[in-house]
Amino acid sequence: MEIFLTLLLVLGVIHLVQAQNQQGFINLDCGLPASEPSPYLQSETGLQFSSDAKFIQSGEIATVQSQTNLRNTLKPYMTLRFFPEGTRNCYNLPVDKGRKYLIKAWFLYGNYDSRDIKPKFDLYLGPNLWATVDIQNIEGNSTAQEILHVPTSNSLQICLVKNGITTPFISSLELRPLGNDSYITQFGSLKLRRRIYYTKSENNYIRYPDDAYDRLWNARSLARLTYISTTSDVSNGIYNLPKSVLQNAATPTNASLPWTIEWTRENPDDQFYVYLHFAEIQDLQANETREFSVLLDGNLFANPVIPKKFEITTIQSQYPRTCERENCSLQLTRTPRSTLPPLLNAYEIYRVIQFVQPETNEAEVVALKGIQETYRLIKINWQGDPCVPRHLMWDGLTCSNTTISRPPRVTSLNLSSTGLTGTIAAAIQNLTQLETLDLSNNKLTGEVPEFLGNIKSLLFIDLSGNDLNGSIPQSLQSKGIELLLHGNPRLCQTKSCTKPQSKDFPVVVVATVASVIILIVVLVLVFLLVSRKKNQYTTMQAQQLPSSTTAMLNITNASSHEPLNEIKRRMFTYSEVIKMTNNFQNNLGKGGFGMVYHGFVNGTKQVAVKVLSQFSTQGYKEFKAEVDLLLRVHHTNLVTLVGYCYEGDHLALIYEFLPNGDLKQHLTGKGGRPIINWSIRLGIALEAALGLEYLHIGCTPPMVHRDVKTANILLDDNFKAKLADFGLSRSFQSGIESHDSTAIAGTPGYLDPEYNHSGRLGEKSDVYSFGIVLLEMITNQPVISQTTSENSHITKWVSSKLICGDIIEIMDPNLRKDYDSSSAWRAVELAMSCANPSYSKRPSMSQVINELKECIMCENSRISNNQGLESQAINIGLDSSVVPKAR
């Protein structure tokens, strides 16, 4: 009895430790009855499962019918949530933006409704289709979907969408955070196609706790294979494979035949990523050698492969690859010098899914949720993304058209006759692109708010049929907005109700005003005289903004769409800046604004802190411009502003930390940075172009960066590019070159010559600078040569080389001729067209993006032909037709 109790205690401790190691895991038992405990420990896996009730607002719960073939099914898959009402029903899950997640959704029908009609429906991630769940066309009555995905916000929406007459349902929803250094792709998410390990064990699958990420590995046992295993420790790699995968492998029984692995593509243009895991787990004799080649779809994938002894090696796709035939084929073939057949521990195959539909502007989503909470609106279709996909748009909304780089915006809100009570919700003012607003025939009270007149795009407002009181704000009467107000008996609509602007000013008032004007003129003259002797921007900092509160208010009153509490949250004191930088210990470099330091917010989040130097040529004006811009624009290729500090003479900008530094360092190898290859350079150029396109056509008003250069293109740990340094950015009137009211600004060599001469500023001023950046990436030549008097500018140097017609003379010799010449020529031609001295002859950033995509396609084709399956993205759907059983 004592032994039995001790064993129970040990098992309890093991499960407790396992539960504690599930940091970031989300395990939802969908449809768990309220009468059952939540969370609970699932005994077979040691995973902590919780009810899904607080993550979704709709649906009904049920339990699968008791059947003999389901008796070993794990508890989380015995209950489910189904959705008889509405077309789209969505889970909202908290995640870390930019973190890679493994997401699994399980579906066990189990004839829960006693109708024995297997359903078919769609599964969405946010506004994009993830998969079609089709229980009708599979063996058994269960399936699963798995994807590797990086969320673009801190909230992940997983939606079940009805696409016919059957009812969507879900059994379990599970999220596991992964390391961002594994399963790297150039673009897209990875849908699981197959994950196999080789063993003669009776266990048919592996999952948590054997796999730390709870990847599900299906065992494969074939008669034509010979299985080997070891009890010795095998060194793991970045993919953190389970011990059973490390210590088990297989080889073909007939060593003279190639080992072939096949799978079927769903569509001709499907792209795949393949991951092969090897470890030599046998003791080889002196005269024995194991060496083999890997072919994917007949093209060389890896050669030669020599598995390391007791150390796992993973060979993976570097680029996405399509299969030429319906059946994709992977072959492992022994080389002539090898005495042993090929060996394989495990493999994974993924299919790339590109989620091209951008989500609705994040600030507007927050505003709509605020409106929903204020009025306690219960609308079955107010779930998921408000604007997209368009056929699932929320009732009462109209949204703008969208592109890949331009998220949709709400242009019309109609909440007429929906039983609204209370005052007009303040969150409405954050719908900054709103053109029509209809709140008629409700029970709204209070005054008509002033903020409605501040929504510049508003053309029509219907407030009729409510119980509003007070007067009409002058801002609404003077803007020419069509305003319907009838049916509000307590609302005064005559001019006599508005606060009068008296025309008969008392003499005292006139005298006072005149004195104030004279005083202002004197102060302005004094200011101008002082500003000539001192730095203009430092003076503005000292005289105009004497406190951090004032700075906050000035920034708040700019064109930022951030709510006031969010702006306050982003403010840091100077003592906090000192603490986060450890008293400015780790210097990352120096820019025109000042020194940049490495730091940590809350002890964990890495940041880069840019501190104004008293000797800087920049100051409060550039500081405010950058804060204003980064508070209101959000794009994956623009650096994220974590916060800012304005306290006395101390100005600081706090950004996300990008560990790979700037592009210039990687072109020159400065600071020990690796020289990047041609393919990565093209990817960086495309991402920088996407960031600029967003500034030019995705912002309202559109913006011009004015300081595009290689030093202002920063790279994250995956070499993803982000534009930085927006201190010189200015708005411009879209489609028209405007005259900048300030002095000409920019970096010599990158500066648009036409803007420099005429002062005309527009989006193509950035295009010129981007062309110079692209030439730098192509040639690795200085923008302005300090050693020669002629051909001193990079455009002249390239022009002189173009006469010879030899691309090798132009391209960076560090690339060692490892590039597609067609891709290189197209890039050179594009760069020179961008850097055309004539403003009107330059392409737009959208045209630049299309050309860069063509360059990348040429380069990818070369890589595919020369290196076999250097596929980048293979999306994988769970290759399991059954829900996991208890082991």
Residues at the binding site for ATP are 610
Nearest to 334 by CA among 299, 293, 280, 297: 293
Give the orientation angle of helix 678-693 with respect to helix 821-834, to 10 degrees. 30
DSSP strand pairing (587-590 vs 594-601): antiparallel
φ/ψ (deg, to 5) at 114: 60, 20
Task: Calculate ∠ Cα 237-241-245, nearest 5°.
Answer: 120
Q: Which candidate in 707, 740, 752, 766 is catalytic?
A: 707
- CB count within 10 Å of CB 399 equals 22
Amino acid identity for residue 186 in this structure: Q
In which residue are the tokens 């595919």 written? 864
CA 774, 778, 782, 783 dihedral sign is: negative
Distance CA 661, CA 683 (A): 16
| Tokens describing residue 875 | 């999306």
| β strands within 126-269, DSSP E | 128-134, 142-149, 155-162, 169-170, 172-177, 189-198, 205-206, 217-220, 225-229, 248-252, 259-264
Q: Identify whether the C-beta of residue 864 lies closer than 8 Å to the C-beta of residue 319.
A: yes
Q: Identify whether the C-beta of residue 566 lies closer than 8 Å to the C-beta of residue 643.
A: no
Distance CA 433, CA 409 (A): 7
DSSP strand pairing (397-399 vs 421-422): unpaired
Q: Give start and end residues of each alpha helix (H) in 700-813.
A: 753-758, 763-779, 794-802, 807-810
Nearest to 650 by CA among 569, 576, 727, 723: 576
Q: Identify whether the C-beta of residue 673 lies closer than 8 Å to the C-beta of residue 666.
A: yes
Q: Identify whether the C-beta of residue 413 lies closer than 8 Å to the C-beta of residue 438.
A: yes
Instruction: Enumerate the β-bridge partners of residue 107.
Output: 143
Distance CA 710, CA 423 (A): 51
Q: Sort 356 into a burial class: Cβ within 10 Å, 0-12 / 13-18 / 19+.
A: exposed
Is 707 labeled as catalytic in the residue annotation?
A: yes
| Tokens describing residue 483 | 């305003």
Nearest to 361 by CA among 152, 128, 91: 152
Nearest to 465 by CA among 490, 444, 487: 487
Distance CA 779, CA 788 (A): 17
In which residue are the tokens 């005495």 written? 339
Q: Sort 790 into a burial class: Cβ within 10 Å, 0-12 / 13-18 / 19+.
A: exposed
Asked whether the bond before 782 is cis by omega within 30 degrees of 0, the reply is no
Distance CA 482, CA 438 (A): 11
Nearest to 30 by CA among 152, 98, 127, 112: 112
| 125 SS3 class | strand
- CB count within 10 Å of CB 282 equals 17
| Tokens describing residue 868 | 């076999």
Which residues make Cβ contacts (< 8 Å) with residue 779, sequence separation at least 6?
794, 797, 798, 810, 811, 812
Per-residue DSSP letter, 549: H
CA 146 from chain centre, in angstroms, equals 19
Distance CA 76, CA 54 (A): 17
Q: Give start and end residues of each alpha helix (H) in 781-843.
A: 794-802, 807-810, 821-834
Distance CA 476, CA 450 (A): 8
Catalytic residue ranges: 707
